[in-house]
Amino acid sequence: MLSNRLIHSAVAFFVVGVALGTAMGATQDFRFTHVHAHINLLGWVALGLIGLIYRVHPHLQQHWLAHAHYWLHTAGLVIFMGAFAWGVATDAKPVPFIATGATMVSLAVLLFAVNVFTRLSRSTAADYR
Ligand code: HEM
Ligand code: HEM
């Protein structure tokens, strides 16, 4: 079920985000704050919330838009955060990678929004049993 996959992915981002926050606090090195904030918010919070929304409205996840959203969001976030962290840790300026990852996430959010706005009210009674 896609909702389970979203929740699994959210928890994986949570573990990484919290570990990074703990390491930042322990070393007093805050260069990775943006990475930490967005792994937690776009990973743990957004994916977890969407997973729960799919549990409440199961028909939303039975559509290609939901699957396309999932892959674009998770792959985009890994590229976005990986490139951002790489740029912070080295002198590299991987702006094209950061932009690609961020655009993938934004596109994913758009697909999720289209799914919700066009299909949410088409719920059937079976959704709420
Ligand atoms: C054990 C868990 C966590 C630890 C140890 C931790 C640690 C930190 C640290 C050290 C900073 C940098 C603060 C600074 O720059 O002065 C920070 C910033 C931030 N954290 Fe966490 N964090 C944790 C969990 C979370 C979670 C779960 C979220 C979101 C759901 C989150 C969201 C943020 C945000 C948005 C910022 C940036 C705040 C700003 O720019 O003012 N953190 N965190
Ligand atoms: C594709 C999606 C997103 C992109 C490209 C993005 C980009 C950015 C940028 C450029 C900044 C400013 C960094 C700076 O001041 O140097 C920022 C800060 C911030 N964003 Fe996002 N953001 C995205 C999604 C989100 C979402 C969904 C949330 C919350 C649920 C969020 C929460 C924050 C917070 C709390 C800050 C301030 C903390 C920080 O500086 O790291 N962002 N974001």
Tens digits of residue pLDDT in 58-78: 999 999 999 999 999 999 999
What is the extent of the structural domain holding 116? Answer: 2-128
DSSP code per residue over 39-85: IIIIIIIHHHHHHHHHHHSGGGGSSHHHHHHHHHHHHHHHHHHHHHH
Cα(62) to centroid(ligand 1), Å? 34
* Residue 36 Cα: closest atom of ligand 2: 41
pLDDT band at 123 (very low <50, low <70, confident <90, very high): low
Domain count across the chain? 1
Ligand 2, atom 18: nearest CA belongs to which residue?
Answer: 34
The rounded distance, in Å, linking the Cα atoms of 34 and 19 is 14
Whether residue 75 contacts residue 63, with contact meaning beta carbons closer than 8 Å, is answered with no
Helices (H) and strands (E) in the chain, counts: 5, 0
pLDDT at 80 over 80: yes
pTM confidence score: 0.94
Cα(37) to centroid(ligand 1), Å? 6
